[in-house]
Copies of this chain bind each other. A is one copy, B any other.
Amino acid sequence: MQAIKNYIASNKARFLGELIDFLRIPSVSTAQKFSEDVRKAAKFVKQKLLIAGVDKVMLIDTEGHPLVYGEKIIDKNLPTVLVYGHYDVQPADPYELWDTPPFEPAIRDGKIYARGASDDKGQVYIHIKAFETMLATKQLPCNVKFLIEGEEEKGSESITLFLKNKENHARIKADTVLVSDTSLLSLAQPSLDVGLRGIVYLEVEVTGANKDLHSGTYGGAVANPLNVLCKMIASLKDENNRITIPGFYDKVVALSEEERAELNKIPFDLATYKKELGIEDIEGEKGYTTIERTGTRPSLDVNGMWGGYVEEGVKTILPAKAHAKISMRLAPHQEAKEIKKLFISYFTSIAPKSVKVNVKAYAGEGNPFLVNATSVSFQAASKAFEEVWGKRPIPVRCGGTIPIIVTFKEMLGFDIAMMGFGLESDVVHSPNENFSVHNFFKGIETVIAFYEHFVRLHK
Contacts and interface: CB of A to CB of B under 8 A. Distances in A.
Given A30-B314, A213-B277, A283-B223, A305 B306 contact: yes
A314 to B, nearest CB: 5
A218 interface: yes
A47 interface: no
Nearest to A209: B277
Contacts of A229: 230
Given A279-B222, A303-B319, A400 B209 contact: no
A223 B215 CA distance: 31
Interface in A261-308: 277-285, 290, 293-294, 297-308
How many monomers of this protein are in the complex?
2
A90 interface: yes
Interface stretch (A16-24, A51-59, A410-418, A421-429): A421-429
Given A220-B297, A222-B277, A304-B309, A234 B231 contact: yes
B91 A309 contact: yes
A83 interface: no
Nearest to A322: B305
A316 B210 contact: no
A316 B201 contact: yes
Contacts of A222: 277, 279, 282-284
A398 B294 contact: no
B354 A282 contact: yes
A453 interface: no
Given A210-B277, A304-B319, A217 B311 contact: no
A398 B213 CA distance: 14
Given A214-B427, A230-B231, 5 more contacts: A154-B313, A215-B329, A224-B301, A226-B303, A231-B237
28 contacts: A30-B313, A154-B313, A199-B216, A209-B279, A210-B279, A211-B431, A216-B329, A216-B399, A219-B327, A220-B293, A220-B297, A220-B298, A221-B293, A221-B294, A223-B283, A224-B301, A224-B302, A226-B301, A226-B304, A226-B324, A227-B233, A228-B283, A230-B233, A282-B354, A303-B315, A304-B309, A304-B319, A305-B310
Interface of A: 29-32, 90-91, 93-94, 97, 153-155, 183, 197, 199, 201, 208-224, 226-231, 233-235, 237, 277-285, 290, 293-294, 297-319, 322-325, 327, 329, 352-356, 362, 364, 398-401, 424, 427-432
